[in-house]
Structure 1
Amino acid sequence: MRSPSPRPLAVDRHGNRLVSFTRCTEDDLPTGARLPLALTALWHGGEVVMVHDRYRNQWELPGGLVEPGESPRQAAVRELSEESGQVPDGALHCVGYAAFLLGPEQRAEYGALFAGRTLRRRRFETDHEIEAACWWDLAAPLPGRLSDIDACLARLSAPTPPPHHPATR
């Protein structure tokens, strides 16, 4: 008897599934065709930048395909800039990689997730793909549809709050 598949972390309205997330360093990312996608969670205070993709009609993290000759990190920085107009202060760090089952055929694919911070919110300009950008606090509703997969990945990338240290007397 076949055991049931583990419950996905998130599913979108098209049936795409985020089936797992593995925290790792950049050196431990899968290589080549196994990792065609890079996403970025850029944080300003307690908010992450989200972009509204006009074709998928949903809010999602900036990201896209890794181009030939490009590293996942380079793709993450490029896509962040192209889609949101934002630039991290300092280097992005690798959070890990996500495993997806995509499309009706449930094709297995992996995507790298990078995160960073910025102290300055830069101006956004629309283009043929992205019609809006905003800063999201992970709780407030966004106007329109939010990708459940990207919301889950944003939460996984959230900076941990500093530990609470009671005052000593």
Structure 2
Amino acid sequence: MSRIGKLPIEIPTTVDVNVTNDNVVVKGKFGTLERTLPELIQVEQTDGRLIVGLRNQTRDSKALHGLYRTLINNMIVGVSEQFLITLELKGVGYRANVQAKSLVLNLGYSHPVNIDIPDGIQVEVVQNTTLNIKACDKEQLGLFAAKIRSWRSPEPYKGKGILYKGEKVLRKAGKSGKK
């Protein structure tokens, strides 16, 4: 049995969880999330707790046990608190701003980069070079942050690019002169 999968999930009082046979719907103050479960996984709701179990012990079900417990827990945390990813733009002239439902990035290209902001994601720009991205769906948030970062991933010589907050870029020595 999975060590993570057997842990119960505490449900906050501000969150409503509806469990049917193969579907989990979680509603909170930041939104509603829904996930379809495979037939191998069963979820029981008892007095403010969710317990994720297995219908039968097979190799496949054991592999999915901890995964689906974590996915359901992330749904509950997301609709009650939201997740946050902070990106930093490092480089001369690198800037960001939000225009309507679009994120405009100046990253040293000859043109600005326009990225549409998906529904359910909020982007806040702090001092032109810091992006705070919030969402209740952790998976969608991570994919959007990776999409932004892919336009200018950090390079090892000058350390320029789009970095996650607190990320350290391992710097390389440049060219060495003739000896």
- The TM tier, using the shorter chain, reads under 0.3
Which structure has the larger Rg over C-alpha atoms? 2
Specify which structure has the bigger relative contact order, considering alpha-carbon pairs within 8 angstroms and separated by 6 or more residues.
1
TM-score calculated relative to the size of structure 1: 0.25
TM-score w.r.t. length of structure 2: 0.24
